[in-house]
A and B are shown apart, each in its own frame.
Chain A
């Protein structure tokens, strides 16, 4: 709400509201409200590593996931026992569980080997490998010898670390150029298996290192060692031999480690036709090879075949477990609606046999097939004779499905499941639920065209309306009862509702997540429960558009846009049920855009697809869609950029050609190439047209108005320019530039530079832009004066600078940074002027937030008088900016949206330490006075400027919850002006409400409806009683 003096008619009201606003800038909740209007899903990500811990009774499942999370799950409930969230750049590369010791290797820019205590999840020790920066992408492996950890990192370095404290026993580096990825400890040596580039494929390399002193014993390439990738290389060992097996370019081979010249072909060795190794299962003493031949899988050791699984086995997944001397192997095959599991027991003395087969409920349309399993068999005490007809053992299978979600089966039943696919969500979209009344007969009437209505006679129409109202009135007693109930019981359990209709306050919606794994999940914003879920194989969703809102009788429709290598799939689904409506596929598409026009047949929004051939395609590809587009084609403009890291942005307009079929092609109108070295670091999104702006100007203290520059085609973006390696390097410099760009004309309306600003570390994005209405907010990390690029000083001041010599840096520190930059600094004259006034950076490193606001004029009460706004005739906006230091690392940025845009906005920051934090726009206001506020500024209720934006614990939207890894923050308005619904996701999902100006349109939870009703009743009674009395008195007086 625009603070300041009020309009005459609303004077009182506004004063009252402002009083409310001033009393507290941030809305917070009480302890007993936690969890009432919000929910939080703690997730870990799709597991890459999974281990069961012993004892099985207090079973825990240790997982290491693609989201760099180490976690322990309760096998009974699926709840997280503990969770260690590593940074996104601390990529988890290897994980090994050995007793209570959990060892991990992680990192992309710095490699760490860490040991964790598996039962508690606490860190035991951490060792950072002193390796060069650049070859860190290689896989890593861990082996354990006695208590010690052998870590293979960087593709060439093997280090032995003491298990107790992580101290280095020895470290050895191979400089042969091969990249090693696996470790195997056999007898007194460590074998590292890797590969090096050969002519057409990779060639397997073996490195033998002495276990005791870390000396390289030998390094060689076994014969026939050509492979396509290292994933086809397996290690096998038993008591007497250690082997490396691989699926070579044409056939599979075995090589016994340590025997340089020997390689056997597997067809001869196993006596199978064209064997391909499927997997090698490990357990304590020996390994088992699952080998596929002629569409059948068999389990075997090197020496002998143990069991052959029957039947056609296209997508089988195997896992093994051993308990009290017996080995079990599970084989899971996914079908359409269920998965078959077969459990085979292999014991030393008996012949192998299938002990259990079952069908697991698993819908391929919901979760996809099982891609990974982990088997655990629970020992049954005193019963070692399962093979001889005893009851089947109790076993658990932890399964990872293709969509990324996980579930645990216990003896054929799903015990729990976790929707980990949400951690791969790339985008989310809110779906408004249909109004109940919208589906009534009444809207059958409202939905028809005027001609249709005219065709009915007046009497008929009247009767129809009467019928509608009668039908509605039948529900009235029930409705009344409910209303009364809600009065008496203020905390009505609305969470249990299953019907999909909008609630009175519009806070119940669906939020649909689409993930890059092909999973689409719709959650209820009231309680976080899954309403529907779908899995689309081979899809990588990156965009969802609501093409039809819940409209009269029609269900809302979502369009899911999935991008594969060459094609873009556009799938239309019913947003309330997830069922398919239609699907289209396009080729060579650069960008999909939702247009603000509807085609007439289904009343869905038209999607425009921009092809690589500079043509526009439409979905649905119907003539009516083409017609709909033709109406807006003259004013349609387009801008495209390759995104983060690009250095260009290009604008297009549309040309229509009527040769044969009408078609539209793009014509490049402008192209902006950023100066050398600048790449896009963050892109804002121009405010969508349907977002309302309550006030067109900002009222100042003296009742004059600064008119907002409201240009929906204005794009705020930030570019970054760095030189000289990593932060801290002597010649490292970094600068962030802010651009305000008109995307119709390509005009740069504003450019400012923030010297020393940038990403906190390469690979840790710290530059974010959020853009709404007439403002933008930018955040970055300030590297301090050391990272300021050396200005090219003119000759006169250059001499002075030389005199400083080595002290150039400290002298610059003293300078005060000029925070505000006038618009149009790109111009040559302005640039010359700038180099004369050196600009310095505060001598402090930290995160900073810049608030920018755009106005039509620098002077109040000046407005370009026009009914229309055209980018071609637009004047340059007046831009105000102010910078604030902020103490926390920001990982995502968003802003609240309310229905009419009256409520003060709140900028929502996803913080790296696991909070969703709201900053009122009144704090991020570039008009905050730097000097003592004048009377007018006081009247306007501006906070005086403070360089630091304090962390206010009351403004944490996620209160004491740890919402890890927030990457996206999405807000949507509700029917209450005060309240905005917010979903933050990334790793965890948090959904809650924000009321930046407090819930001024909602009675408090503790409002006593009973007292109100009682008061009204008492008043009515009193009036009735006194009326009686007064009547009696009147009569008496008349008789007197």
Chain B
């Protein structure tokens, strides 16, 4: 079969495999093409395959870096939104801030899920337990992941700054006033007027 020219169409022949099929209904060359395609694949050389894999890996890394930097792009937009919502404690400003913080934290938590599709490992072969930790260093995605977390951290910082601006952070002494213990008085004094009014 391998000797068969790939541009050859056997318009009449009946290979016997598809005898049961009503070949009349197939478009010309249909049955043959499918079989031919299989042959083409197997013909590719190992070098080619390797090159392709590299290409895909590079592509994936590129995509991974893009994903890592995506949150940074949203920071200015978020900053504007926070600025617009004002520093008073209202449902809108609080909602915006909480959403920002929440989304960022959620994103950080879901980092591995986000980068799963960029992984070059075959699915189901992820190392488990201690091996996962050891393989971190060799994971090519480690840098994008760190950058991604940093970028999301930037968003969190923005939210925290906003909380601070709204006065929701315990940064001033008045915030710790309630936890102050009254001073213990060492002397006790009693007395008053001897005669009454």
Does A256 have its Cβ within 8 Å of any Cβ on chain B? no
Interface-side segment among B31-39, B59-67, B72-80, B179-187: B179-187
| B180 surroundings in chain A (CB, below 8 A) | 696-697
Query: Is A11's CB under 8 angstroms from B89's CB?
Result: yes
Within 8 A of B (CB), among A650-708: 651, 683, 685-686, 689, 693, 695-697, 699-700, 703-705
Does A177 have its Cβ within 8 Å of any Cβ on chain B? no
User: How distant is A86 from chain B, measured CB to nearest CB, in Å?
Assistant: 20
Q: Which of B172, B177, B190, B192 contacts A637 (CB 8 A)?
A: B190
Does A323 have its Cβ within 8 Å of any Cβ on chain B? no
Q: Which of B89, B170, B188 contacts A713 (CB 8 A)?
A: B188
Query: Is A637's CB under 8 angstroms from B187's CB?
Result: yes
| A693 surroundings in chain B (CB, below 8 A) | 182
User: How distant is A855 from chain B, measured CB to nearest CB, in Å?
Assistant: 13
| B170 surroundings in chain A (CB, below 8 A) | 7-8
User: How distant is B95 from chain A, measured CB to nearest CB, in Å?
Assistant: 13
Within 8 A of B (CB), among A712-729: 712-713
| B175 surroundings in chain A (CB, below 8 A) | 7-8, 703
Does A869 have its Cβ within 8 Å of any Cβ on chain B? yes
Within 8 A of B (CB), among A82-104: none
| A870 surroundings in chain B (CB, below 8 A) | 185-187
User: How distant is B39 from chain A, measured CB to nearest CB, in Å?
Assistant: 49
User: How distant is B23 from chain A, measured CB to nearest CB, in Å?
Assistant: 43
| A269 surroundings in chain B (CB, below 8 A) | none
| A868 surroundings in chain B (CB, below 8 A) | 183-186
Q: Which among B168, B170, B180, B187 has the greatest number of chain A C-beta atoms within 10 A?
A: B187
Query: Is B187's CB under 8 angstroms from A12's CB?
Result: no
Task: Write the B154-197 contact mask toward A (1 if CB under 8 angstroms, else 0).
Answer: 00000000000001111011110110111111111111111111
Does A857 have its Cβ within 8 Å of any Cβ on chain B? no
CA distance A869 to B184 in the complex (A): 6
Contacts A710-B183, A866-B183: A643 and B174 contacting too (C-beta < 8 A)? Answer: no
| B183 surroundings in chain A (CB, below 8 A) | 710, 866-869
Q: Which of B169, B173, B188, B197 contacts A596 (CB 8 A)?
A: B188
Contacts A11-B167, A644-B197: A705 and B177 contacting too (C-beta < 8 A)? Answer: yes
Within 8 A of B (CB), among A631-652: 632, 635-644, 646, 651
Query: Is A632's CB under 8 angstroms from B188's CB?
Result: yes
Q: Which of A8, A15, A713 contacts B185 (CB 8 A)?
A: A713
Query: Is A699's CB under 8 angstroms from B193's CB?
Result: no
Query: Is B194's CB under 8 angstroms from A593's CB?
Result: no
| A542 surroundings in chain B (CB, below 8 A) | 196
Task: Write the A866-887 contact mask toward B (1 if CB under 8 angstroms, else 0).
Answer: 1111111000000000000000
Contacts A5-B167, A699-B174, A705-B173: A635 and B190 contacting too (C-beta < 8 A)? Answer: no
Task: Write the A588-621 contact mask toward B (1 if CB under 8 angstroms, else 0).
Answer: 0011010110000000000010000000000000
In the complex, the number of residue pairs spanning A and B with C-beta atoms less than 8 Å apart equals: 131
Binding site secondary structure of chain B:
loop
Does A744 have its Cβ within 8 Å of any Cβ on chain B? yes
| B167 surroundings in chain A (CB, below 8 A) | 5-6, 8, 11, 703
Q: Which of B89, B174, B189, B196 contacts A638 (CB 8 A)?
A: B189
Does A345 have its Cβ within 8 Å of any Cβ on chain B? no
Query: Is B182's CB under 8 angstroms from A704's CB?
Result: no
| A703 surroundings in chain B (CB, below 8 A) | 167, 172-175
| B194 surroundings in chain A (CB, below 8 A) | 590-591, 640-643
CA distance A641 to B194 in the complex (A): 6
User: How distant is A249 from chain B, measured CB to nearest CB, in Å?
Assistant: 34
| B172 surroundings in chain A (CB, below 8 A) | 703-705
CA distance A933 to B182 in the complex (A): 31
Nearest residue, chain A, Cβ from B178: A7
Does A47 have its Cβ within 8 Å of any Cβ on chain B? no
CA distance A863 to B197 in the complex (A): 39
| B89 surroundings in chain A (CB, below 8 A) | 11-12, 15
Contacts A426-B196, A591-B194, A641-B192: A11 and B168 contacting too (C-beta < 8 A)? Answer: yes
Does A4 have its Cβ within 8 Å of any Cβ on chain B? yes
Query: Is B185's CB under 8 angstroms from A591's CB?
Result: no
Query: Is A637's CB under 8 angstroms from B189's CB?
Result: yes
| A685 surroundings in chain B (CB, below 8 A) | 192
CA distance A872 to B186 in the complex (A): 10
User: How distant is B7 from chain A, measured CB to nearest CB, in Å?
Assistant: 55
Show 20 A/B contacts (Cβ-Cβ < 8 Å), sorted by A: A4-B174, A591-B192, A636-B190, A637-B190, A639-B192, A696-B177, A696-B180, A696-B182, A697-B174, A700-B174, A703-B172, A710-B182, A711-B185, A712-B185, A712-B189, A713-B187, A743-B189, A744-B187, A744-B189, A869-B185
Apart from the given pairs A713-B187, A868-B184, 19 other A-B contacts in the complex at a CB distance below 8 Å = A7-B174, A7-B177, A8-B169, A593-B191, A632-B188, A635-B187, A637-B188, A639-B192, A643-B193, A683-B193, A686-B189, A689-B188, A695-B177, A696-B182, A705-B173, A705-B174, A705-B177, A710-B182, A869-B184
Residues of B within 8 A of A (CB): 89, 167-170, 172-175, 177-178, 180-197
Residues of A within 8 A of B (CB): 4-8, 11-12, 15, 426, 542-543, 590-591, 593, 595-596, 608, 632, 635-644, 646, 651, 683, 685-686, 689, 693, 695-697, 699-700, 703-705, 710-713, 743-744, 861, 866-872
9 A-B pairs with the lowest CB-CB distances in the bound complex, closest first: A643-B193, A869-B183, A639-B191, A703-B172, A713-B189, A743-B189, A637-B189, A699-B174, A870-B186
